[in-house]
Structure formats: C-alpha cells, structure tokens
Amino acid sequence: MYAEIVAVAVVLFYILGIVSAIDSIINVRTAQGAIAWTISLLTVPYIAVPCYLVFGRKKFDGYLEERKEIEEETRELLRQTSSEVAKYLVATSPTAPMYHALFQLTGIPAAGGSHAELLVDGHATFESILQGLTTAEDYILLESYIIRDDGLGRRVGRILADKARHGVKVHLLYDEIGSRNFHRTGLCKQLSMSGVEVAAFNTTQGRRNRFQLNFRNHRKIIVVDGKTAWVGGHNIGDEYLGLNKRIGPWRDTHICLRGTAVLGVELAFATDWRWATRSVLRITQPGLDYGDHGDDNVLVFPSDPASILEQAGLMFLQLIVAARERIWIASPYFVPDRSIISALQLAALRGVDVRVMIPDRPDGPVVGMANWSFTRDLLPAGVNVYRYQGGFMHQKVLLLDNYLAGVGTANFDNRSFRLNFEITVLVEGERFAAEVAAMLERDLLRSRGVTMEDIEAKPFWFPLAMGAARLFSPVL
C-alpha cells in the first residue's frame, strides 16, 4: 500500500512538473529563466514544483484581476482634485521624451510648484516625520515594509494613537511578510484599540494566490493631511537609527515633499489600501490649496508586479540612457538584469561619469557574491564601482547630470524590477540635485574604489562562487 502511494505521488509530481514547465515557457519573462525552470521541473519535480509555486510567478494575478477597478478609483481621485492641481502639472509630449515615457509607464504626471527636502540618515528623517505627524489635523497615511515594536516604533505609535483618539483618521499599512509578526505585538493591539485602522498588505489573499509569497510591498510612505509626504529607504525600527549593535551604523536617505506632488504619493497609498482592505480610501480634499511651495518639478513613480511592463526597470533604463554628463547610483542590492548592465557600459563608453556605490558589508553572502559578479562586468567599460565602508548602506539614490535626482524604495535588482511594489520620487531642480551630489560625494569619501586587480586577487574558488550567486540573481 505504501509503495502504491509513493508511486502515485511520483506520477502526480511529474504531471504537475510538465504542467508547470508549460506555464513557465509561456509566462516566465526571460529565456534563461524559462530554460532553468523547465529543466528543473522536468527532472526533479518534487523539489521544483513547490519552488515554482512560490518563486516562479512573475505576475501578481490577484491584483491584476482587480487592476481595472483599482485604476478607475484612482482616476476618480484624480478627477476630484483636477481643478486644483491642473495648473501645476508638467505637460507631457514626445518633444520631452523622458517625462513622456515615464508618464506612459506610470500614468502620473510630474507636478511643478513643489519642494523636495533631502533627509540624510535616520535621526534627520524621523525628527522630520515625528514633527510632521504631530501637526496632523485631518488624516495620516502610513505604509511601511517593516514596523517594529521597539523604541522608535513605540514613539511613532504613541503619536498615531493620540491623533486617532482626537479624531484624526489614521490608516496604517504594513507588508505581511516584511512585518510578519507585527499583528501579534502589543504595539499593533494598542494602535487598533486607539482607533487606528491597521491593515496588512496580504499578497496571498484570493483563491489563485495561496502560494504567492514571492511578492512584497516594499513601499515606505507617510502622508499628512495631503500637504506633506515622506518617501525613502527607512522602515520603522531602531536599526534605522543605527541602534542595532549587530548591524552597526545605518546609512540611508529619505525625502520630504510639499506641494502638489504629495497627491501622487497619496494615490500610491490609496491603491495599496484598496487591495489590502477591499475598501476605497476617502481622503482627498477637493478645494485644498496645494499652493506654490517651490521650483522643483517632482514625478512620483510607483511601480508594481501587476503591470504589463516592468516599470521600475524601464524607468531606471530611461534615466541611464538620458545621461549626458554623469549617472551616479547608490543601491544596497545591486543585482541588475542584462539591459541595465549594457546601458551602464554604453554610458561609460560614451564618456558619461558612471559611478555605482554598494555596501562593503552586503546583506547576505549570496547578494555579496552577486555584487562582485556584476562589478566584474562593469569595470572594463570604465564604470567606477565603490564599496561603502561607513556601515551598512541602505539608500536607494540616483543622480542624473546636474538637474535630476531620485530617492525612493526601489533597488537595482530583479526583485524591485519585477516582484515588489515600490515607489521612487524623481526631482528635477538644480538645487536638489546639488544637495544629492554633495551627499553622495561625502559617501564616496567613506568608500573605496574597486579594481579588476581586487577581483583577480581573490581566492581560486571566488569565480565559481560569483557564478553560482549570479544564477540566483532572478530571485535575490
């Protein structure tokens, strides 16, 4: 009897392997990925089939099924405020190819009359955020990949609870995997009892999504009264203040927005809230005077794995192609695809100052080896690669020439390009670009440049380890 059960199970796994292999040939986005999945599914289906259910899907099916309804609700939110924001929107046309292309990707136009404030590291970031939260009169929107019940989490929580008790509408959204134990914490229970609406962004909801564990909502968003927004690399936890002794100093960057551009951040939160709670967020204020807060043109660029096109990857590719003088990139997870590597190589070959900054102490050995592998591809073309040595560098920052800079949550890796919900804020303005350039120059002083000699001096097993790590790059 036992032998018969085993035989049936083996046959069933091979049938599932064949079905999954056909699905991978049809749906996996890269030929290399399709080949790898097909071979493994047909040869070791009892291992590969469960892995494919979790890691093989590249489309967020449940979200995709509801996308039309979500987008219509988003358009309605835009229509409610159209008369107030129209005069601040930057016109898009084929004569302005960068803004035109990015608008086609995300559907959100750039907004003028805005002001972007650069926030360097945790203390400056959370001083700004905590002060901003205390000014809330109507509503607070807070979304974070990680929320911890620790010193910083409780400081934020006390303000949220106090505001909710005094009638401010507070909506808090966290990723179910990034903050997988948050719902069990005393902080979460305290917030709920105080009237804060707490919800998890649950990628496994829906009948087709039970094994959909590979997608994440990686956004970090805070909006206060539709007037001020914060976006960047910091989650909510003591380590982002450099207080975790095991991790040590934490290098990160955030941005504070005022003006019309805040609406774009609000819309990104509203779509996430719609998926998580199946309810429409009623927070826009028709008639709100967004005011003229500055000279920055700001494009809020949310990206997600339910889009037909790979939004984040194409956005970064567009910026690299547009570079004429310099393109500087800081990312803790630099595991790009072939198109990004080729674009950076070509930029360096045409005389652009291309610099890539990554942490010297990466978050995990496989990511570290993959970083070395892609570094080996970039150096011969003249790309300068630096390894930051002042602690763990977590910032996601890009600088284009002397007029545009980006700060957000998206890394230069396959996960951000294809699997995560991300948000990047692109700011056009020489003042802000100069501030970002000065910040990155200070970081470069705490970094060391990498040479081909560094790679050649590695132990004999190092090339094999780099190659093996590169094989895992699609799921890192």
Residue-wise pLDDT for 214-254, tens only, equals 678 999 999 999 899 999 999 999 999 999 888 889 999 99
In SS3 terms, the chain reads as CHHHHHHHHHHHHHHHHHHHHHHHHHHCCCHHHHHHHHHHHHHCHHHHHHHHHHHCCCCCHHHHHCHHHHHHHHHHHHHHHHHHHHHHECCCCCCCHHHHHHHHHHCCCCEEEEEEEEEEHHHHHHHHHHHHHHCCCCEEEEEECCECCCHHHHHHHHHHHHHHHCCCEEEEEEECCCCCCHHHCHHHHHHHHCCCEEEEECCCCCCCCCCCCCCEECCCEEEECCCEEEEECCCECHHHHCCCCCCCCEECEEEEEECCCHHHHHHHHHHHHHHHHCCCCCCCCCCCCCCCCCCEEEEEEEECCCCCCCHHHHHHHHHHHHCCCEEEEECCCEECCHHHHHHHHHHHHCCCEEEEEEECCCCCHHHHHHHHHHHHHHHHHCCEEEEECCCEECCCEEEECCCEEEEECCCEEHHHHHHEEEEEEEEECHHHHHHHHHHHHHHHHCEEECCHHHHHCCCCCHHHHHHHHHHCHHHC
Instruction: Give me the domains of the chain, ranges plus CATH numbers.
Output: 2-56 (no CATH), 62-299 (3.30.870.10), 311-475 (3.30.870.10)
**CA 213/CA 202 separation, integer angstroms:** 9
- What's the predicted TM-score (pTM) here? 0.87
Q: Which residue has the higher pLDDT, 259 or 465?
A: 259
In this model, does residue 368 exceed pLDDT 80? no
Output the pLDDT for position 458: 82
Residue the block writes with tokens 């951000």: 416
- Does the active-site annotation cover 396? yes
Catalytic residue, candidates 175, 272, 296, 401: 401
Summarize pLDDT for 265-279 with one digit per residue, the tens: 988 998 889 888 888
In this model, does residue 87 exceed pLDDT 80? no
- Does the active-site annotation cover 220? yes
Summarize pLDDT for 130-158 with one digit per residue, the tens: 999 999 999 999 999 999 999 999 999 99
Q: Which residues of 20-39 are buried (b: 16+ CB within 10 A; e: fewer)?
A: bbebbeeebeeeebbebbbe
Q: How far is CA 247 from CA 16, 166, 204, 365, in A?
A: 42, 38, 31, 15
Q: Are strands 296-303 and 111-120 parallel, antiparallel or unpaired?
A: antiparallel
Token pair in block for residue 226: 């539709």
Q: Which residue has the higher pLDDT, 135 or 305?
A: 135
Token pair in block for residue 237: 């936890």
Catalytic residue, candidates 225, 272, 296, 443: 225
- Does the active-site annotation cover 245? no
Output the pLDDT for position 475: 54
Q: Which residue has the higher pLDDT, 308 or 446?
A: 446
Average pLDDT of the segment spanning 49-54: 72
- Does the active-site annotation cover 59? no
Output the pLDDT for position 375: 86
The residues facing 327 across adjacent strands are: 354, 400
Q: Which residue has the higher pLDDT, 224 or 203?
A: 224
Percentage of the residues of the chain whose pLDDT score is greater than 70: 80
Range with the poorest average pLDDT among 115-119, 209-213, 225-229 = 209-213
Output the pLDDT for position 101: 85
Catalytic residue, candidates 58, 227, 293, 394: 394
Output the pLDDT for position 472: 63
**CA 81/CA 68 separation, integer angstroms:** 20
Catalytic residue, candidates 58, 234, 254, 396: 396
Summarize pLDDT for 164-182 with one digit per residue, the tens: 999 999 999 999 989 989 9
Catalytic residue, candidates 115, 171, 220, 234: 220
Place 82 in a pLDDT band, splitting at 50, 70 and 90.
low
- In degrees and rounded to multiples of 5, residue 45 shows phi and psi of -65, -30
Output the pLDDT for position 419: 84
Output the pLDDT for position 345: 97
In this model, does residue 124 exceed pLDDT 90? yes
Summarize pLDDT for 403-436 with one digit per residue, the tens: 999 999 999 988 888 889 999 999 999 999 999 9
Residue the block writes with tokens 């440049």: 449
Percentage of the residues of the chain whose pLDDT score is greater than 90: 49
In this model, does residue 44 exceed pLDDT 70? yes
Output the pLDDT for position 47: 75
Range with the poorest average pLDDT among 24-28, 56-60, 123-127, 160-164 = 56-60
Output the pLDDT for position 464: 79
When the pLDDT of each residue in the chain is averaged and rounded to a whole number, the result is 84
Summarize pLDDT for 335-363 with one digit per residue, the tens: 888 899 999 999 999 999 999 999 998 77
**CA 279/CA 199 separation, integer angstroms:** 11
Token pair in block for residue 244: 């975790």
In SS3 terms, 404-465 reads as EEEEECCCEEHHHHHHEEEEEEEEECHHHHHHHHHHHHHHHHCEEECCHHHHHCCCCCHHHH
